[in-house]
Amino acid sequence: MSDCNCSNIAILAVISIGFMYLIRKHFKGGQFTENVSARGKVAVVTGANTGIGLETVKELNLRGAKVYMLCRSGQRGAVAKQELVKIMRQSWRNVSPNCIDALLGIMSVIRDGIPVETRIDILVNNAGVWTSGYQQTKDGHELTWATNHLGHFLLTELLLPLVETAPAGRIINVSSLVHAQSPAIDLATIDSKEGFDSTIAYDKSKLANVMHARELARRLRSRGSAHVTVNSLHPGVIATELLRNLGIGYKIFQIVFAFFLKSRKDGAQTSLYCALSTEVKGVSGQYFSDCAKKDNAVFAKDDLACKQLK
């Protein structure tokens, strides 16, 4: 009788483990498995000292790219670079990223952080913040809007001539699924403290990322630069530091839902897919999630609103 019970327990354990494996595989999301080299390519990644930005830099390095890490903190960026150099040495490679300070909320700092290159093949606008309350940059912009959209918009414009020099430049805006729940963007009130809500502010900035990609893709096509593609993406719900400004609630969220969150490696997969995959060659103005093209929000398809956002 005991043998029978042991057998039942063993079978139940195997079924449970298999079930948990399938659930975890589902939440890991799409994986970029294409064997594509990045050797000879020059890449720029913002928010590169932590989370999916750091994973993106690591994978691009491992595939042979020369990578510039744009980080808001030079000290944290240096620590991240040391970590990556160690990984590269373990892989018998001597390539190491270049770390540059670039506080995306401050326009003058962005201009100072432009890398000196003859071309840029890949630009990943990855950095993001989600504040716990209203904050304003010294330029007079609301911090979430300035960092998540304005900073990346300016950086993209400054680097665009170098991206256009590349034979097949790719620009990637890391947005979020929450862009779909954003209200329409009112540029007249976007920096206002009155009625400020941190969640809505974040949603709007992510909507702007999608709209920016769509509008820039249109502009490039219209002026004969279709060899440069611009796309946006949802990386997934990830265990990163994005919510660190939300205090103890962030830590509780990570502990309770850890099993259902993507790792930072999983979260970087769609960025890498958009940056390197042959399936995305020539594809522009689209929105991706889990390494596949997805439909985006109604407001993101408003061509007039996209042009006004420019």
Catalytic amino acids?
A: 202
Tell me 201's DSSP state. H
3-state secondary structure of 245: helix
Tell me 280's DSSP state. G
Which segments within the chain are labelled E, that is strand? 42-46, 66-71, 98-101, 122-125, 170-174, 229-234, 287-289, 292-294
| Measured CA distances, 98 to 46, 161, 238 (Å) | 12, 20, 26
Q: Which residue has the tokens 């929000």?
A: 297
Burial (CB < 10 A; 0-12, 13-18, 19+), residue 202, is buried
**218 C-beta neighbours (distance < 10 Å), count:** 17
Task: Tell me the C-alpha distance between 213 and 216, whole Å.
Answer: 5
Tell me the one-letter amino acid at 100.
I
Length of the chain equals: 310
